Amino acid sequence: MKKVTICVLLYGDYEDLARRCIDSIIENCDRDMYELRVGCNACGVNTLAYVVGLASKELIDAVYISSDNINKSPMMRRMYKDINTEWIWWFDDDSFIDKPDAFDHWLNEIDRHSTEAKPPVLYGKVFFFGQHSDFDYGLNIVNWIKKQRWFRDKPVPCGGHGYEKDFNIDGNDTRFFFVTGGVHMVRTDFINMINWPTSTLIKRNDDVILCCAVRQNEHSFIDLDYGVQINQHERRGIGEDKETMEEQLKS
């Protein structure tokens, strides 16, 4: 069985980004080690022709197409169904591999931690929000988090009145660390356990919420960005706004 399912999410009429990302995977990763799934949200004709052409050559294992932009999390839910590899390596289309040994390096890093009592479940570039309002817009996300199937009664990192008691050892530290969604590698069994992405998620700060779930379940994540370029294009599409966050919290 292959070890990793690589998932690439494409959006819009950006054939150059699609080619840069997918070609970097095909050229730099051992085909015997991965399956490749590609999601297409409102993609242009040339992008679709490129993707379908690769699929016809069996260089892509599964293609998921939506003529409308259903956004990141709904497409991710489709792409994550029935994955039978141990790990998932996710790429947004504006990220790509730029070192030939990147895949091996990431797998070696996972193997290096595998003997730990509780190995990390998530690897990727770690960023942080400086304060809770950068993430939640002052909305009541605490109650929403506490309704999720992955909530385990651990301190919640954000809310209209700040962090809950005991979230940070240093109460003056308002930073919340998370693995960016642009490129990350996550354990499939953890994704299945928490039924990720949570059903109401659309796009806004899905990566931050995933790290909430990781911490709720007393797992860890590792800072890793060797051999990849992340978020190498300006923001596109919709979903990075307060209205999207409000919509996500309806449940």
**9: closest CA among 63, 86, 81, 67?**
63
**87: closest CA among 40, 33, 29?**
33
pLDDT at 188 (0 to 100): 98
pLDDT at 157 (0 to 100): 65
In sequence order, which residues have a C-beta less than 8 Å from that of residue 249 and are 6 or more positions away?
139, 140, 141, 144, 200
The pLDDT averaged over each successive group of 10 residues in the chain (251 residues) is: 92 97 98 97 97 98 97 97 97 98 97 95 91 77 89 72 51 75 98 96 92 92 96 84 89 67
pLDDT at 167 (0 to 100): 53
pLDDT at 196 (0 to 100): 97
**Domain parsing of the chain, residue ranges:** 4-248
pLDDT at 1 (0 to 100): 61
**Looking at the domain 4-248, which fold is it?**
Spore Coat Polysaccharide Biosynthesis Protein SpsA; Chain A (3.90.550)
- Mapping DSSP to helix (H, G, I), strand (E, B) and coil, where does residue 176 land? strand
**24: closest CA among 108, 93, 109?**
93
